[in-house]
Structure 1
Amino acid sequence: MSKNTCLITGGAGFIGCALSRELAGAFDELVVVDNLHPQIHADHRRPDALAPHAALHVADVTEAGTWDRLFADFDPTVVIHLAAETGTGQSLTEATRHAAVNVVGTAQLLDGLARHAMAPKRFVLSSSRAVYGEGAWRNAEGGLVYPGQRTRSQLEAGQWDFPGLSPRPFSAESTRPSPISVYGATKLAQEHLMSAWSHAFGSEVVTLRLQNVYGPGQSLTNSYTGILPLFARIAKAGQSIPLYEDGCMLRDFVFIDDVARALAKVALCGAPSAQPYDIGSGRAATIGETARIIAARYNAPAPHVCGKYRHGDVRHASSEIEQTRADLGWEPQVDLQEGLDRLCRWIDERM
């Protein structure tokens, strides 16, 4: 009798570790592939947070040999594809690295499966809100427009918003993907690759477009991802948190446990639609608001607007999750105040 095997690529990372614990007992085998990149894993060792029952294989997803060795021993029923380079700003100066891992790595996984005549029952792809770019904005007449990427001259002039337009939350049902970063472009390419392959080989694919994931377990050393741990470290040191642009950028911060539950749900139960699903908290908060909550917790000076900006960042990002709720029976359970408290307590224990 064949084993019920789940493969998680990039499974030793922040989300993968949380997911491995969420999937405890759900599969006969839980196989994790991760290269333990030093940007995330400075000591290059198995993370303590990875579930003990998960079999970790340290390997590079971009190498064909990785998949030939793996598929000689495992025939996955479900593949959860988390492996990706995720630095939005970093992707503009390290485009080759992001394309190699996110696009070529995905293609190597699919080619490996094809070479071994394997077609998983289901793929679960961890995609990103970055595929939307700036998304759709509403004009004065009530129509929707896609303003595209903010130009260098706009940002240099401190023109943060698009004049005459108001932002709208992202929705897989109604927002056209239009990435403005190399990272976002590679994540959209992952979606297309998975969809094309799965249709041809008879696998299901469920895509989750994640908003800003945060919580205990985030890297405290990776300067390219995880703005909230950075804020906490600054405030804990008694310093004022610097706010980019005017501090009014909207973000949808979704807690790690809620994300792990969503991934586990679609891995085990599937989804009724081929439409991607938005995974967020359902509530947008400004960067300034989150910074003030963290500063107050540490009795730090009030955050200050520094006026700096970063190319590749969108002005506002939030999501509508009504369809996700309805289709998946999933509901975010941790609000921002509680989530920030849990994150800061975890950071305090480690600093």
Structure 2
Amino acid sequence: MKNCLITGGAGFIGCEVSKLIEDTFDNIIVIDNLHPQIHKLNERPADLSPKVNLYVADVMDPITWDEVLSKWKPDLILHLAAETGTGQSLTESSRHANVNVVGTTQMLDALIRNDAIPSKIVLSSSRAVYGEGKWLDKDGISFYPGQRSNEQLANKEWDFKESVFLPMNTNHTTPQPTSIYGTTKLAQEHLISCWCKSYGVNYTILRLQNVYGPGQSLINSYTGIVSLFVRLAKQNKSIPLYEDGMMLRDFVFITDVARAIYEVMINENANGKVFDIGSGYGSTIKEIAELIAKRYEAPTPEVCEKYRNGDVRHAQADISDTLQVLNWCPEVSLEEGMNLLCDWIDGQLEE
């Protein structure tokens, strides 16, 4: 393959992918605005492959697209550019909608305008599209509980009574987002799939769980709960546990995610499909906090009963279908991944 274009490619996931694919493509082109919420310095990230042609620009700018596409005709596009803060999306809805939705339509329009239709588009989506997902009641009947109301959360009714959460699976769980962010990501999925079908372009959509690991932003307060926990523990502070601390999350290591992206780039069996990418293991937030507190000999994490509207009670992937189709499986265990991340954060904070 010749040219790979990555939107938002100077971020956490993009940098890892760029190193993995640098020998697969003749040219790698990245468009990224180096937003200060993610990038402390407005300069090329050290982790970005030196083979990358970086355009510091906004995906919402049609002039940028025309400039890039007049020079580079992408064979494959990896669409990573997105605003990702679940809580922030409630107070900055227009920003999330503009970047995630309008940024995507600007890209699609520019591809037509510049006669630059690619062979394939890979979209990085999110488990947020599922919302609370599917649950099983006491009679063994599945149902969709929908979004937890502010009144319910204020009354500390964290769970759906006498019900059990079912891991998220693209073939069995209907998307019902409970956040502005999740809604915009589902819109991205629909935009990419219908556009690609109309123009005969292959596409693959990856619904990522909680991605973590060395290289993630340490200054973005809206993502990276693990890095926040590490900083508190290193300051010998007790980590606050929202709700009752028993929310499930599926933490998947950055190298496993990058390998999944590379796999769907080259695997024709992935065309036209949506995959769940996670570890397949649901750990409680309390479990993560205790693991980190123990490493740094910090005080025991404490339940604070705070909550965030739009947050889901549980999130965990059922990756069984993904494993059947892709030549991929997660390799980094939670304990190994957390230690690698903590080692990296220690090094960063000592510099």
TM-score exceeds 0.5:
yes
Q: Is the 8 A contact 2:204 2:270 kept in 1?
A: no
Question: Which residue among 285, 299, 317 is the counterpart of 1:301?
Answer: 299
Match of 1:232 in 2: 230
Q: Is the 8 A contact 2:27 2:52 kept in 1?
A: yes
Deviation (angstroms), 1:31: 0.4
Cα distance between partner residues in 1 of 2:119 and 2:157: 48
Match of 1:179 in 2: 177
2:154 corresponds to which letter in structure 1? Answer: E
Q: How does 1:96-111 map to 2 (within 5 A)?
A: 96-111=94-109
Question: Which residue among 111, 114, 122 is the counterpart of 2:112?
Answer: 114
What is the TM-score when the length of structure 1 is the normalising length? 0.98
Task: Give 3-state SS (helix, strand or coil) of 1:120's partner.
Answer: coil
Question: Which residue among 281, 286, 289 is the counterpart of 1:288?
Answer: 286
2:322 corresponds to which letter in structure 1? Answer: T
What is the TM-score when the length of structure 2 is the normalising length? 0.98
Residue 187 of structure 2 is aligned to residue 189 of structure 1 = yes
Cα distance between partner residues in 1 of 2:64 and 2:199: 21
Question: Which residue among 31, 49, 62 is the counterpart of 1:51?
Answer: 49
Question: Which residue among 71, 80, 83 is the counterpart of 1:85?
Answer: 83
Query: Where does structure 1 lack aligned partners over 5 or more consecutive residues?
Result: none
Match of 1:164 in 2: 162
Cα distance between partner residues in 2 of 1:55 and 1:38: 20
Deviation (angstroms), 1:268: 2.2
Cα 1:40–1:229 change in 2 (3 A) is same
Match of 2:17 in 1: 19
Match of 1:350 in 2: 348
Q: Is the 8 A contact 1:206 1:270 kept in 2?
A: no
Deviation (angstroms), 1:273: 5.2
Match of 1:131 in 2: 129
Deviation (angstroms), 1:272: 3.9
Cα distance between partner residues in 1 of 2:141 and 2:50: 52
Question: Which residue among 212, 217, 220 is the counterpart of 2:218?
Answer: 220
Match of 1:10 in 2: 8
Query: Where does structure 2 lack aligned partners over 5 or more consecutive residues?
Result: none
Q: Is the 8 A contact 1:173 1:275 kept in 2?
A: no
Residue 27 of structure 2 is aligned to residue 34 of structure 1 = no
User: Matched residue pairs, number?
Assistant: 349
Deviation (angstroms), 1:4: 0.8
2:39 corresponds to which letter in structure 1? Answer: H
Deviation (angstroms), 1:275: 2.9
Q: Is the 8 A contact 2:248 2:314 kept in 1?
A: yes
Q: Percent identity over the alignment?
A: 56
Task: Give 3-state SS (helix, strand or coil) of 2:71's partner.
Answer: coil
Task: Give 3-state SS (helix, strand or coil) of 2:220's partner.
Answer: coil
What RMSD in Å do the two structures reach over aligned CA positions? 0.8
Deviation (angstroms), 1:63: 1.1
Deviation (angstroms), 1:201: 0.8
Deviation (angstroms), 1:165: 1.3
Cα distance between partner residues in 2 of 1:40 and 1:236: 22
Cα distance between partner residues in 2 of 1:271 and 1:136: 27
Deviation (angstroms), 1:7: 0.3
User: Any runs of at least 4 consecutive aligned residues in structure 1 with deviations exceeding 2 A, and if so which?
Assistant: 268-275
Cα distance between partner residues in 2 of 1:188 and 1:59: 24
Deviation (angstroms), 1:270: 3.5
Cα distance between partner residues in 1 of 2:68 and 2:273: 30
Match of 1:198 in 2: 196
Cα distance between partner residues in 1 of 2:56 and 2:144: 42
Q: Is the 8 A contact 2:203 2:271 kept in 1?
A: no
Cα distance between partner residues in 2 of 1:272 and 1:142: 33
Cα distance between partner residues in 2 of 1:192 and 1:102: 12
1:191 corresponds to which letter in structure 2? Answer: E
2:117 corresponds to which letter in structure 1? Answer: A
1:74 corresponds to which letter in structure 2? Answer: W
Match of 1:74 in 2: 72
